Homo-oligomer: A and B are copies of this chain.
């Protein structure tokens, strides 16, 4: 009587609830994101990591699109490059925020819910009912401030 469920299974369940079929290609791509939660892959990144498999690039694009619709991934735009990046959604919590260093360009994720007070203000002053938020803070990270740009 196991209550437990691997993370992979949780995401698969989410896919099933959207009537999506489970194929080896989809599992493979999902696993790449699960094994690299701090990364923000592009479609091309995924294609490169699948070099050994026979998965076609059209499938990668279609899968990423599917995962976004289902709520497994989220498109993020770090407007510095021209590519669409994908960020794994944590099924349990609010979308996280990003700190981007203008010096070493490292992207750090933070999960604190920093915006509760902001949402309260917007709700009060603009009568806007907030459902989700995206926050990007750009600046200089600790390492770069100390003159030790990330190796």
Please report A residues at the B interface, Cβ cutoff 8 Å: 75-77, 79, 99, 101-102, 108, 110, 112, 114-115, 117-119, 121-122, 125-142, 145
Contact = CB atoms under 8 A, between A and B. Distances in A.
A122 to B, nearest CB: 6
Contact of A126 (B76, B102, B110): B110
A138 B131 contact: yes
Given A114-B118, A114-B121, A122-B110, A145 B129 contact: yes
Nearest to A79: B75
Given A77-B77, A99-B128, A145-B127, A133 B137 contact: yes
Nearest to A77: B77
A114 to B, nearest CB: 5
B122 A99 contact: yes
Given A129-B145, A142-B128, A145-B129, A137 B122 contact: yes
B140 A128 contact: yes
Contacts of A114: 118, 121-122
For A75, A122, A137, which residue has the most chain B Cβ atoms within 10 angstroms?
A137
A137 B142 contact: no
Given A75-B79, A110-B122, A142 B130 contact: no
A72 to B, nearest CB: 16
Contacts of A77: 77, 79
A26 to B, nearest CB: 22
A39 to B, nearest CB: 18
